[in-house]
Structure 1
Amino acid sequence: MFLSSFFFLLFSVEGFAQCAMCRAALETEETGVKAEAVNDGIVYLMAFPYILLLVCGFIIFRIMKSKKKA
C-alpha cells in the first residue's frame, strides 16, 4: 500500500483528459458556460460509481449483520 502510494506520488503527471472534440468546443466558447456544463457532467458521471459502491457495501453490511445475529 505504501509502496504504491509512493510511486503514484513520485510519478504523477498532470493529465489533460479531454478529447479533441471537447477541447475544440470549449476553446471556441468565450463565456465559459459550456465549460462549466462539461465539468458538471464529469462530476455527475464520477459520483454514480461511488454511490453504487456505498449502497452495495451497506447491503453487504446488513446481510453480514443479520447472519451474525442468527
Structure 2
Amino acid sequence: MKQLFLFLVALLGSTASMAQCAMCKTTIVNNVSNGELALADGLNFGIMYLFVTPYLSIAVIAAIWFYRYKQHGKKKRRPSFA
C-alpha cells in the first residue's frame, strides 16, 4: 500500500513540474520575442543560483570537517619511544 501511495505521489508531482516548466518557457519566449531580456537574464541567474548553492554548501561543510579532523588528529598523537 505504501509503495502504491509513493508511486502516485511521484507521478502527480512530476506532472505538475512539467507544466510549470512549459509555462516558464512560454513566458520567456514571449518576452524575448518582444525584446525584453531582463526576465530571461533573471531566470538564468536564478537557475544558476539554485544549481550552485547545494554544491557550495557541501564543499564548505566538507572543508570544515576535513580541517577539524586534521587538527584533532594532530592533538592526539603522542611521541613513540623506541
Q: Place the TM-score, normalised by the shorter chain, in its bin.
A: 0.5 to 0.7
What TM-score results when the alignment is normalised by the length of structure 2?
0.57
Unaligned runs of 5+ residues in structure 1 are 1-17
C-alpha displacement of 1:57? 0.8
Deviation digits for residues 10-49 of structure 1, max 9, x if unmatched? Answer: xxxxxxxx81111111011022211111001011111211
Report percent identity of matched pairs. Answer: 34
State the match for 1:56 in structure 2: 61
- Count of equivalent residues: 53
State the match for 2:26 in structure 1: 24
Amino acid at match of 1:42: I
Amino acid at match of 1:61: F
Please give the secondary structure, in 1, of the residue aligned with 2:59.
helix
Larger Rg: 2
Q: Write out the 4+ residue segments of structure 1 that deviate beyond 4 Å after TM superposition.
A: none
